[in-house]
Amino acid sequence: MKISVAGAGYVGLSIAVLFARFHEVSIRDVVKQKVDMINERKSPIADKEIELAFMEGYLNLQATTDISQAYSGAQFVVVATPTDYDPHKNHFDTSSVEKAIREIRKVNSEAWIVIKSTVPVGYTRELASRINDDKLLFSPEFLREGHALYDNLYPSRVIVGAPLARDSSYDAARRFASLLIDCSRGKNVEAILCPSSEAEAIKLFANTYLALRVAFFNELDTYAELKGMDTKTIIEGVGLDPRIGRHYNNPSFGYGGYCLPKDTKQLLANYSDVPQCLISAIVEANRTRKDYIADKIFSLASSSGEQKVIGIYRLTMKTGSDNFRSSSVQGVIRRLKEKGATILIYEPTFQGTEFCGFPVTHDIGELKKCDVIAANRIGSELNDVIEKVYSRDLFFEN
């Protein structure tokens, strides 16, 4: 079977590699550098499982920028293009999804198009009606940064939604779910076939719950730090309750990354005509946390009455990631800038020499000369200067 994928980011590339282990797969991206890297079996994203799959060399995978080459003859085409949240429209920007669908239909009118990009609740059904296309499905992804292929290989669940209550739609949804499961290494993977709006809601509510959990432990940490208490002891005691557990409990500068910030805001927008207080509190809690962290760092840098240099250790969201997008540390930097702080940023994967108006260095030695070092996640290379590092990373986890 030929399967095509639109978009070679974390979601698109990982699912392309998953399918290419057993099927012919063509992946299209507009960035030629990405296409060339994939065809040279080099991963354009930081994911060890994808790098290993490329090294093993058994994938039936071809990357291209050409629309016809990518989509012609495919039975399923997965759309995995970016849908960033637009704060002005209070809505995901789904223009890349619709552009990809138009391009697919120019060369392939028969394929079932499966939207993997995160979209607002009700979007797939509305789009199917608006463009008069009854071969659209929605299947949310549940992937962690840096572990995208692993999470496709060992899925927690498979969800596929069909916008139309027709036998053909649900049959296609069932076939796509079977493809995902058959290409995985998971055992007894549970699949849910449902209307597309419910599938969209599953994605947004799942990520908002994760954001809630992060925000909860961050606010626990804020309380303990201000009251002079040991956060780690409190979290360990709380986590011993099996109903709560010990996962997603490591304090940070705030939740960030590809999904949580934009998904929580989109879900809040979907609540525009629905009574709520919790969803808006989750979004606001993340802003409050970054305000608190920035205030704390700035006070450390100005405690002696003189302006000290603040070093920022990494722009990325987590250890082993190459993703800067919506990382919580960026929100902290912007707040420190408003306070007039003097900052030096250490980010070895950043190509430029300046970020947010501050100099960027690739030299860890330069960072270590700073008076205060702020680190969302602590790397072992900071061990020799740990006395001047400010971090809420208590469990030294991603």
- Could you list the active site residues? 259
Q: 61 in helix, strand or coil?
A: strand
| Unique residue bearing structure tokens 């509510």 | 205
Q: Which of 385, 388, 392, 393 is nearest to 365 (CA)?
A: 385
Backbone angles phi, psi at 117, to 5 degrees: -60, 145
Q: Which of 9, 23, 6 is nearest to 322 (CA)?
A: 9
Give Cβ neighbours of residue 187 (< 8 Å, ≥ 6 apart). Answer: none
Q: Which of 16, 26, 4 is nearest to 54 (CA)?
A: 16
**End-to-end distance of the chain based on CA atoms, in angstroms?**
37
User: 61 pairs with which residues across the strands?
Assistant: 25
CA distance 107 to 331: 43
Q: How many CB atoms lie within 10 A of CB 227?
A: 8
Backbone angles phi, psi at 25, to 5 degrees: -130, 135
Kindly give the pairing relationship between strand 354-355 and strand 309-313: unpaired
* Contact (CB, 8 A) for 70 and 30: no
| Unique residue bearing structure tokens 């993340």 | 286
Residue 392, CA atoms < 13 Å, CB-side half-sphere: 29
Q: How many CB atoms lie within 10 A of CB 363?
A: 10
CA distance 266 to 204: 8
DSSP 246: S
Q: Which two tokens stand for residue 146?
A: 């840096």
| Unique residue bearing structure tokens 């354009």 | 44
Q: Which helix (H) or strand (E) holds 4?
A: strand 2-6
Q: Which two tokens stand for residue 267?
A: 């879900």
State whether the Cα torsion 137-143-146-147 is positive or negative.
negative
